[in-house]
């Protein structure tokens, strides 16, 4: 084609960088206007295209061999053509609105879904931060009957107990309800929990409110990374998940500043308003999500009308449903579904290889989220003001102010990850920042152990460094990884249980931190420093890179394509074999699969 041989089954849009410049010049000229709106399925150069002009114009050209299936779509820019038989982006958009969804398409639709997913994580961050100020409020302590340190940590940690069960609940109903309805259910439960907490006058109601709020967050944080990952283009998936986690930090920062602002309210409003305010974001999520579609992957697998999945995919990519890019991505999704659907999906599939190492991938997802909590981040997130008061002897006012400034820093440094997550990759960030946190925690332990004014200042500085290391390596990357590594067949269940593992680790850390700081002091930081070294070693040994790969191509990180042959379908040969370049493996599989199909057609 244009003095260039193309592989069978590969589609080349007109603006593809692989097309020779002289062809693009000719294709943009009036001489090539007969190609307007046409799709030519043949390996022809410019002269051959000219020779078949009449056949192309009348649409009588048919091809029946694999040689004719090497394709590229020509859409010459001009305003003189009959568009009656050509599906456009506007057709796809109208199809979407006829199903009750918004008129958004392309980047705007992706942005709308990203805003909802980000708001879900904003709620997560707000809930993590809001109790930091509440538990040191004299009005709250008095209302709760002046609870002991252990009781305060238990009330705080009940949120994580609820979140564990919420994540398990999302795993049970997530595939049946779909991504958007599971998100809306979680927001509804959270609203009920926040109302119970804000209106309580005794400890039991507060505890029930904490459990329900955690239950809602368990649903939300289990489904939003899956929702985001399944609608995002591969090259943008990492930074869009980063957007969610940066918004989470905004929620965390907002909670700290609201706590600080209401410190000057000398009434129960000092803690009631911060607890009630989170319901605003949950209402936003419910309202906006009701106008958005579910993901094409869920629709293609679980919906009785696959056309809806294709239409949503086309809207997300801003192209008509018959566009080569849309068709190629749809085919990849259907291929992955075919591989994963050889057995009916069940909870046992989490522990079976099923030819795609699904069980090992599930263990990787569980491990990475549990290891996040073993980094020690929630010593700082939940208890920064307590830490500043207990370890460094600050007043309530100064502890709240410094905690709020810490979250501003936390939010600011998170933007670095937007750039690094897809360029540097997941593995390097995991390993380097785990070692960085180890170093910072050792330094923190030394400063707290010395216990003078200068060391206290240094200890505060190291807390800031710790949060930077965490957000660069173990925040967005951790929530991005499970939906990437898990196959579609168990993605909802696996991601939900991975989130449950995160909350279980969170519960352990939140429950033991106050008594640990009180009883063993600086040695608490040494324990978490050692755990960070363990995290780095485990990632180095077991976790493959996923950055920049489509969700379908990641299935082939765990396959051996060398054994593909023409005797059996390609997916019968999948075996456990970790490789690190998913793109290369996916291309090898596509080439082999196409050659197999060609031999069968011949």
What is the three-state SS of 95-142?
HHHHCCCCCCCCHHHHHHHHHHHHHHHHHHHHHHHHHHHHCCCHHHHH
Q: Is the same domain home to 166 and 40? A: no
Tokens of 382: 């939940």
Lowest mean pLDDT among 61-70, 312-321, 462-471: 61-70
Lowest mean pLDDT among 225-234, 361-370, 588-597: 588-597
Which among 498, 514, 542 is the end of a domain? 542
Q: Is the same domain home to 517 and 568? A: no
Which among 283, 307, 338 is the end of a domain? 338
Q: Is the same domain home to 230 and 365? A: yes
- Least Cα distance to 518 among 129, 252, 152 occurs for 152
**What's the rounded mean pLDDT across residues 64-90?**
34
What is the C-alpha separation between 297 and 124, in angstroms, rounded?
A: 25
In a domain, 596, yes or no: yes
The pLDDT-based confidence of 531 (bands split at 50, 70, 90) is very high
Per-residue model confidence (pLDDT) at position 57: 66
Range of the domain at 57: 1-78
What is the C-alpha separation between 193 and 254, in angstroms, rounded?
A: 19
Spatial CB neighbours of 217, under 8 Å, sequence gap ≥ 6? 123, 124, 127, 159, 162, 163, 166, 186, 190
Per-residue model confidence (pLDDT) at position 345: 57
What is the C-alpha separation between 6 and 3, in angstroms, rounded?
A: 10
Lowest mean pLDDT among 85-94, 220-229, 316-325, 408-417: 85-94
In a domain, 551, yes or no: no
In a domain, 550, yes or no: no
Q: Is the same domain home to 307 and 252? A: no
Domain count within the chain: 4
**What's the rounded mean pLDDT across residues 29-37?**
64
Please give the backbone phi and psi of residue 75, each rounded to the nearest 5 degrees, phi first. Answer: -130, 90
Lowest mean pLDDT among 136-145, 269-278, 371-380, 578-587: 578-587
Q: Tell me: the pLDDT tens digits for 333-364? A: 887 777 666 654 577 778 877 677 888 889 99
The pLDDT-based confidence of 330 (bands split at 50, 70, 90) is confident
pLDDT cut 90: percent of the chain above it = 20
Residue 439 exposed, middle or buried by CB count within 10 Å (0-12, 13-18, 19+): middle
DSSP state of 275: H
Q: Tell me: the pLDDT tens digits for 355-395? A: 778 888 899 999 999 999 999 887 776 666 766 776 667 77
In this predicted model, which residue has the larger pLDDT, 307 or 212?
Answer: 212
Q: Is the same domain home to 68 and 203? A: no
Question: Is the confidence at residue 109, as pLDDT, over 60?
Answer: yes
* Distances, alpha carbon 442 to alpha carbons 466, 530, 571, in Å: 11, 9, 49
Q: Is the same domain home to 95 and 192? A: no
Per-residue model confidence (pLDDT) at position 572: 36
Q: Is the same domain home to 274 and 315? A: no
Tokens of 510: 């939140």
CATH number of the domain that 219 lies in?
1.20.1250.20
Question: Is the confidence at residue 321, as pLDDT, over 50?
Answer: yes
DSSP state of 62: -
Q: Is the same domain home to 387 and 535? A: yes
What is the C-alpha separation between 36 and 47, in angstroms, rounded?
A: 17
Contact 212, 190 (CB under 8 A): yes
Per-residue model confidence (pLDDT) at position 27: 59
**What's the rounded mean pLDDT across residues 182-210?**
94
Contact 570, 592 (CB under 8 A): yes
The pLDDT-based confidence of 9 (bands split at 50, 70, 90) is very low
The pLDDT-based confidence of 18 (bands split at 50, 70, 90) is very low
In a domain, 547, yes or no: no
Q: Tell me: the pLDDT tens digits for 404-452? A: 888 888 888 888 888 888 788 889 999 999 999 999 999 988 988 887 7
Lowest mean pLDDT among 115-119, 213-217, 459-463, 544-548: 544-548
The pTM (predicted TM-score) of the whole model is: 0.63
**What's the rounded mean pLDDT across residues 285-306?**
86
User: Mapping DSSP to helix (H, G, I), strand (E, B) and coil, where does residue 64 land?
Assistant: coil
Residue 62 exposed, middle or buried by CB count within 10 Å (0-12, 13-18, 19+): exposed
**What's the rounded mean pLDDT across residues 58-74?**
37
Q: Is the same domain home to 333 and 393? A: no
In a domain, 548, yes or no: no
Which among 303, 338, 373 is the end of a domain? 338
Please give the backbone phi and psi of residue 71, each rounded to the nearest 5 degrees, phi first. Answer: -130, 155
Per-residue model confidence (pLDDT) at position 524: 86
User: Mapping DSSP to helix (H, G, I), strand (E, B) and coil, where does residue 565 land?
Assistant: coil
Per-residue model confidence (pLDDT) at position 190: 96
**What's the rounded mean pLDDT across residues 48-65?**
57
The pLDDT-based confidence of 194 (bands split at 50, 70, 90) is very high
Q: Is the same domain home to 456 and 532? A: yes
Q: Is the same domain home to 152 and 189? A: yes
In a domain, 552, yes or no: no
Of all helices (H) and strands (E), which one includes residue 72? strand 72-73
In a domain, 381, yes or no: yes
Q: How many CA atoms lie within 13 A of 74 on its CB side?
A: 25
Lowest mean pLDDT among 46-50, 116-120, 195-199, 554-558: 46-50
Total H helices, total E strands in the chain: 24, 2
- R_g (Cα) of the chain, nearest Å: 27
Spatial CB neighbours of 22, under 8 Å, sequence gap ≥ 6? 2, 46
In a domain, 250, yes or no: yes
Per-residue model confidence (pLDDT) at position 466: 92
Lowest mean pLDDT among 30-44, 315-329, 492-506: 30-44
The pLDDT-based confidence of 74 (bands split at 50, 70, 90) is very low
Average pLDDT, the chain: 75
Q: Is the same domain home to 184 and 237? A: yes
């Amino acid at each position: 084609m244009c003095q260039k041989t193309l592989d069978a089954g590969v589609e080349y849009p007109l603006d593809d960088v692989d097309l020779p410049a002289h062809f693009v010049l000719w294709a943009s000229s009036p001489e090539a206007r007969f190609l307007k709106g046409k799709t030519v399925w043949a390996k022809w150069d410019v002269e051959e295209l000219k020779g078949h002009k009449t056949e192309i114009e009348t649409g009588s050209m048919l091809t029946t061999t694999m040689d004719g299936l090497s394709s590229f779509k020509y859409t010459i820019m001009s305003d003189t053509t009959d568009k009656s038989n050509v599906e456009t982006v506007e057709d796809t958009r109208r199809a979407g609105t006829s199903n009750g969804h918004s008129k958004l398409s392309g980047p705007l639709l992706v942005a709308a879904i990203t805003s909802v997913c980000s708001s879900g994580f904003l709620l997560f961050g707000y809930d993590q931060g809001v109790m930091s100020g509440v538990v040191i409020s004299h009005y709250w302590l008095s209302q709760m009957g002046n609870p002991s340190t252990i009781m305060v940590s238990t009330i705080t940690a009940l949120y994580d107990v609820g979140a564990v069960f919420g994540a398990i609940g999302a795993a049970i109903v997530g595939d049946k309800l779909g991504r958007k309805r599971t998100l809306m259910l979680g927001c509804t439960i959270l609203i009920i929990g926040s109302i119970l907490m804000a209106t309580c006058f005794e400890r039991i109601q507060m505890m029930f409110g904490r459990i329900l709020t955690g239950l809602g967050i368990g649903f939300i944080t289990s489904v939003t990374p899956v929702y985001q990952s399944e609608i995002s283009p591969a090259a943008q998936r990492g930074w869009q998940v980063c957007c969610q986690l940066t918004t989470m930090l905004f929620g965390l920062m907002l909670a700290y500043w609201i706590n600080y602002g209401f410190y000057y309210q000398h009434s129960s409003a000092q803690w009631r308003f911060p607890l009630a305010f989170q319901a605003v974001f949950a209402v936003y999520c419910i309202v906006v999500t009701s106008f958005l579609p579910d993901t094409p992957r869920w629709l293609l697998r679980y919906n009785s009308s696959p056309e809806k999945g294709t239409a949503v995919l086309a809207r997300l990519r801003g192209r008509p449903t018959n566009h080569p890019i849309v068709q190629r991505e749809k085919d990849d999704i259907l291929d992955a579904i075919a591989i994963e659907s050889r057995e009916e999906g069940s909870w046992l599939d989490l522990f079976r290889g099923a030819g795609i190492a699904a069980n090992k991938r599930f263990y990787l997802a569980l491990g990475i989220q549990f290891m996040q909590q073993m980094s020690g981040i929630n010593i700082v997130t939940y208890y920064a003001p307590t830490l500043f008061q207990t370890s460094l002897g600050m007043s309530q006012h100064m502890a709240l102010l410094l905690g709020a400034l810490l979250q501003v820093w936390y939010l600011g440094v998170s933007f670095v990850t937007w750039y690094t997550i897809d360029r540097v990759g997941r593995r390097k960030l995991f390993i380097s920042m785990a070692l960085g946190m180890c170093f910072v925690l050792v330094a923190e332990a030394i400063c707290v152990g010395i216990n003078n004014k200068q060391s206290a200042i240094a200890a505060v500085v190291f807390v800031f460094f710790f949060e930077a290391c965490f957000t660069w390596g173990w925040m967005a990357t951790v929530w991005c990884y499970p939906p990437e590594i898990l196959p579609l067949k168990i993605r909802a269940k696996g991601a939900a249980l991975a989130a449950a593992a995160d909350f279980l680790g969170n519960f352990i850390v939140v429950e033991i931190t106050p008594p640990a700081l009180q009883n063993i002091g600086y040695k608490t930081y040494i324990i978490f420093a050692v755990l960070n070294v363990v995290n780095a070693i485990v990632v180095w040994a077991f976790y493959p890179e996923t950055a920049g790969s489509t969700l379908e191509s990641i299935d082939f990180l765990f396959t051996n394509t060398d054994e593909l042959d023409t005797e059996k379908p390609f997916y019968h040969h999948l075996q456990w074999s970790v490789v690190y370049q998913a793109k290369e493996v996916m291309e090898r599989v596509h080439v082999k699969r196409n050659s197999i199909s060609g031999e069968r057609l011949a």
